[in-house]
Each structure stands twice: as structure tokens, then as C-alpha cells.
């Protein structure tokens, strides 16, 4: 049975070009990049090139890139490194929400029914001791794009640092940290067909942060520990693909996403697009099926060879409904009837059409078993 992957917001497969870039770093270029001998300097050269590549994908300077173990560490470094009152939103990734929750005075600003935060609500939450505003660029469950540049201008006017979790934005929309006006921006390699276990935090030159890890003077003294050179090289190669080829791929995926939504809604009654009234990235569709529980729907689709999800992979196994769907005003029943489809480079028209047929069949079968559906 063929299997098709529609969960690219959770993670993406490592691309062939990324694998090829990483392979020599496992066996041939194995030096410590902090060593002064030739082995170390070869590794340092690879690391420097990777840093330039990631910076290029963000419109940043190489010296403004701090490599981390992933998006979660980058988010935590921004939040705890700012050391003060934090303002964030109710739809953030757990890496931001749970970090902010450790700060007793943190403020969580609500969003509207489409999942978009009002910049003026963020402005109203600023206090004399506010140190950081953290708003995600693209929501991982809905694909909704936040008005980041406008919020960043508010932060700048108030003399407050601006951080954005851009993990779901890079590779899906154009990212230029200079135009956005952010001071800090988190990204992760495994969302753009790079390896797991490596990410980065853009730190605008002149921005003062406290480190989370203490030790050697690695990564501008902001992230102690010998760098993951192979991972960074893979990240750098993935970032090169983003710079050179992502624009066309983004358009292709949006066509497929629209085909998926239109195909399902044309053949299935009672289907709603969560966040559909807002600007969204082109690969993400969060659909709500009246009278359906998402868990049996996910299982049935998986048995047919289609991998989809009910929300953030970092929240899987949670008994409570998605905090994002609750934040946009859905009831527990509505949140539990929602499924996220996220497309990537491997998906084709034929796969999308097969998925539409499978969804139509499975929903019809489950509704026959669910007399509550009207």
C-alpha cells in the first residue's frame, strides 16, 4: 500500500541535497571547530559557511546567527535571555507558552476568531517593566500569519525587544528580519527539509541577552558547547534551497492546498476552515468536520496510507483539545473535530486527489456511526 505524508508542519524529510551535504561531516570533517589545527579549522570553515547561508535566508548578517539545538531552545533563549516581563499570545507554540508560563508576570494576549492578534491589544499590555514581546510569525496549527511588522514597530516605539517564533514561516513566506523589524527570530532546520536537532536564533547586533547555557565562549557567548557541525551544515544547505527555490515551491503547494480544501468542501457537508478568514501560508489547512471526532478520522486515514494530524506534534498525546483552537473560540467538541493537513515538497496532485477521496469515504462512514451528526 502506498503511503503519503501530509504532516509537514510536524517535520519534513531530509532532502537528498541536505543528506549529501551532511554525509562527509560524519566521517571526514570531524574536527572541533574551536581547535586551531587543520582538522578544527576545516570544521570551522563548514560552520561559518552554514552560518552565512542561514543568515542569507533571513536577510541577516552571519554574526547575528546563534546556532541552537532547535526551535525550542531558540525560543527559550529569547524569552529567558531577555530577563523581564514578557508579552505573548494565547496561540503560541508550547516552546513559547510554557517558557513564558515560568515568568509569573507574563501577559498572554488573546486573538480573534481567525487566530490573529490585534497589535493594539499588544500595545495596551506593555508595562514599564516589559522587556520582551514574543509573537509567532506563522501559527503551526492554522497557518495564520500574524501582523508581525506592525507589532515590531509598537515594540520599537516602547523600547521593548521583539521576538518572533519563525519556525513555521521560513520556507513558506519571504522572511527578512530587517523589514520585519524584529530583534530576535527563531528557526529550525527540520521544518525546511533539514536535519532534526539543530536550529538558530537571529540576534540583532547590539541586542543584549543572558545565556541559558554556561561554559565556553561558543556562539557569541550565548550558547556554550561544541557546535553540531554536521547539523549546521545540513541547515545551511536547506537554507540555500529556501533562498533559491522556495518561491516557486510555495506557489505550487498553495495550489495543492486550495485543491484539497475545495475538493473536500465540494463533496462533504459541514466542513469549516479554521482560520480561513485570515492570511495563511499556502501549505496548511485546518479543517473542522461537524459530528466527527478527529481521532478515529486520523486512524482511519492512516490505515488508508495518509499521515495527517490533529494539531501540534509537540502536543500529541494531550487529553485536552488544542489550545490554539480553544483560543479562537471553538468548543471542545469543535476542536476535537478538527484535522490539520500540511503539505510539502513530496506531495503531488495525484496524492491530493487520493486524499480527498479517502476523506470523503471515511467521513461518510464515521457519520453513519455517529447519530449525533445532523
Let me know whether 162 and 105 are in one domain: yes
Let me know whether 252 and 236 are in one domain: no
**What is the span of the domain harbouring residue 141?**
16-242
Let me know whether 238 and 250 are in one domain: no
51 part of a folded domain? yes
Let me know whether 58 and 148 are in one domain: yes
User: Is residue 325 classed as helix, strand or coil in its secondary structure?
Assistant: helix
CATH code for the domain in which residue 101 is found: 3.40.640.10
The model carries a pTM of 0.95
What's the number of domains the chain is made of? 2
Other beta carbons within 10 Å of 63: 12
The residue from 242, 267, 284 where one domain ends is: 242
Phi, psi dihedral angles at 48 (to 5 degrees): -65, -40
The residue from 242, 273, 308 where one domain ends is: 242
Decide: 253 and 344 in contact? Cβ < 8 Å.
yes
Let me know whether 57 and 89 are in one domain: yes
Alpha-carbon gap, residue 355 to 295, rounded angstroms:
17
What pLDDT shows up at residue 110?
A: 98
Identify the helix (H) or strand (E) that includes residue 359. Answer: helix 349-368
Let me know whether 105 and 226 are in one domain: yes
* Geometric angle at alpha carbon 192, from 187 and 193, rounded to 5°: 135
What pLDDT shows up at residue 314?
A: 56
Let me know whether 39 and 160 are in one domain: yes
What pLDDT shows up at residue 319?
A: 57
Q: For 204-220, what is each residue's pLDDT tens digit?
A: 999 999 999 999 999 99
Which residue out of 125, 149, 300, 314 is catalytically annotated?
A: 314
What pLDDT shows up at residue 369?
A: 84
Let me know whether 152 and 134 are in one domain: yes
The residue from 196, 220, 242 where one domain ends is: 242
Alpha-carbon gap, residue 313 to 280, rounded angstroms:
19
Which DSSP symbol is given to 321? Answer: P
What pLDDT shows up at residue 69?
A: 97
Let me know whether 173 and 264 are in one domain: no
Nearest to 162 by CA among 143, 144, 185: 185
Is 314 catalytic? The answer is yes
374 part of a folded domain? no
What pLDDT shows up at residue 312?
A: 57
Alpha-carbon gap, residue 121 to 135, rounded angstroms:
12
Residues of the chain with pLDDT under 70: 311-319, 371-374
Across the chain, which distance is largest between two alpha carbons, in Å? 72
What pLDDT shows up at residue 313?
A: 55
Decide: 111 and 328 in contact? Cβ < 8 Å.
yes
Let me know whether 230 and 250 are in one domain: no
Amino acid at each position: 500500500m502506498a503511503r503519503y505524508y501530509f504532516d509537514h508542519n510536524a517535520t519534513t524529510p531530509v532532502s537528498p541535497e541536505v543528506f549529501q551535504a551532511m554525509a562527509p561531516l560524519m566521517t571526514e570533517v570531524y574536527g572541533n571547530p574551536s581547535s586551531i589545527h587543520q582538522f578544527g579549522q576545516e570544521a570551522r570553515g563548514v560552520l561559518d559557511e552554514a552560518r552565512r547561508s542561514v543568515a542569507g535566508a533571513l536577510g541577516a548578517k552571519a554574526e547575528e546567527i546563534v546556532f541552537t539545538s532547535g526551535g525550542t531552545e531558540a525560543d527559550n533563549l529569547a524569552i529567558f535571555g531577555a530577563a523581564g516581563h514578557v508579552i505573548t499570545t494565547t496561540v503560541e507554540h508550547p516552546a513559547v507558552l510554557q517558557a513564558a508560563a515560568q515568568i509569573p508576570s507574563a501577559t498572554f494576549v488573546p486573538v480573534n476568531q481567525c487566530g490573529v492578534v490585534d497589535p493594539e491589544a499588544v500595545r495596551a499590555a506593555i508595562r514599564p517593566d516589559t522587556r520582551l514581546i514574543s509573537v509567532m510569525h506563522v501559527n503551526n496549527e492554522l497557518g495564520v500569519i500574524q501582523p508581525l511588522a506592525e507589532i515590531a514597530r509598537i515594540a520599537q516605539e516602547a523600547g521593548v525587544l521583539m521576538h518572533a517564533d519563525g519556525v513555521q514561516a521560513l520556507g513558506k513566506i519571504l522572511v527578512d528580519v530587517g523589514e520585519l523589524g524584529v530583534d530576535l527570530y527563531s528557526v529550525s532546520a527540520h521544518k525546511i527539509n533539514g536535519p532534526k536537532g539543530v536550529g538558530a536564533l537571529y540576534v540583532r547586533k547590539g541586542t543584549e541577552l543572558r545565556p541559558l547555557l554556561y561554559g565556553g565562549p561558543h556562539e557569541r557567548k550565548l550558547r556554550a558547547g561544541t557546535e553540531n557541525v554536521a547539523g549546521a551544515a545540513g541547515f545551511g544547505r536547506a537554507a540555500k534551497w529556501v533562498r533559491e527555490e522556495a518561491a516557486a515551491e510555495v506557489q505550487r503547494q498553495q495550489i495543492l492546498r486550495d485543491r484539497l480544501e475545495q475538493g473536500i468542501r465540494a463533496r462533504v457537508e459541514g466542513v469549516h476552515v479554521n482560520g480561513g478568514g485570515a492570511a495563511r501560508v499556502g501549505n496548511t489547512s485546518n479543517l473542522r468536520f461537524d459530528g466527527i471526532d478527529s481521532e478515529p478520522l486520523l486512524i482511519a486515514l492512516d490505515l488508508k496510507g495518509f499521515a495527517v494530524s490533529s494539531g501540534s506534534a509537540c502536543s500529541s498525546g494531550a487529553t485536552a483539545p488544542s489550545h490554539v483552537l480553544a483560543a479562537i473560540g471553538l468548543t471542545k467538541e469543535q476542536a476535537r473535530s478538527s484535522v490539520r493537513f500540511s503539505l510539502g515538497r513530496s506531495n503531488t496532485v495525484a496524492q491530493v486527489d487520493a486524499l480527498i477521496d479517502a476523506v470523503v469515504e471515511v467521513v461518510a462512514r464515521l457519520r453513519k456511526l455517529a447519530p449525533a451528526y445532523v
